[in-house]
Amino acid sequence: MKYIIGFGRFWYDFIVGDDWRIAVLVLVGLGVVYELAHHGMQHAWWVLPVVVAGALTISLLRETRKR
């Protein structure tokens, strides 16, 4: 069990890293883009860049406010 938890923790740290909120916002953003594209809005290319900019800004402002 210890090894499974260790293995899972390694991949979590490797992929997600310090702020899980970024991962959640990115996945929600991709879900929104997928839904838009499959409901006739294939030209909503701007959505993901906006989500990414928002996620990174929120994460950095939170991190630097703590100090």
Residue with tokens 């800004």: 57
Give the x-and-dash track for 15-34 against other proteins (CB under 8 A): xxxxx--xx--xx--x--xx
Residue with tokens 């906006």: 50
Residue 56 interacts with other proteins (CB under 8 A): yes or no: yes
Cα–Cα distances (Å) from 45 to 29, 39, 48, 66, in that order, read 12, 14, 7, 34
Nearer to other proteins, 2 or 65 (CB): 65
Residue with tokens 């979590």: 12
Judged by the rule CB under 8 A, the positions of this chain that interact with other proteins are 14-19, 22-23, 26-27, 30, 33-34, 36-38, 42-45, 47-49, 52-53, 55-57, 59-60, 63-64, 67
